[in-house]
Amino acid sequence: MQGPSNPAKKRMDEPEPHDKFSHFGNFVAAHLRALPEEISSDKIENLTTVLLYNVLVTKIKDEIPSEGS
């Protein structure tokens, strides 16, 4: 079986890099691939916004020193 001919789809199927932002992009791509074809762009935008918010909140929490440090 031959791989996808779409260059964007090919990039999504490549192995994941290990930095946080690439990991987030791959995470979003995996969720978008799992969605039905007929999903609206508004729903995709909302999903991406929620995922980005969660990543940013996690990043901020990681950078704030804990009280025990």
Give the up-direction half-sphere exposure of residue 59: CA atoms within 13 A in the CB hemisphere.
Answer: 11
Asked if residue 17 belongs to a domain, the reply is: no
Asked if residue 45 belongs to a domain, the reply is: yes
Q: Specify the pLDDT at position 6.
A: 58
Asked if residue 11 belongs to a domain, the reply is: no
Asked if residue 2 belongs to a domain, the reply is: no
Contact assessment for residue 52 and residue 24, using Cβ atoms and an 8 Å cutoff: yes
Asked if residue 43 belongs to a domain, the reply is: yes
Asked if residue 56 belongs to a domain, the reply is: yes
Asked if residue 49 belongs to a domain, the reply is: yes
Number of separate domains in the chain: 1
Other CB atoms closer than 10 Å to residue 46's CB: what's the count? 11
Q: 47 lies in which domain range?
A: 38-63
Q: Specify the pLDDT at position 56.
A: 83
Asked if residue 27 belongs to a domain, the reply is: no
Residues of the chain with confidence (pLDDT) below 50: 1
* DSSP tag of 18: S
Q: Specify the pLDDT at position 32.
A: 76
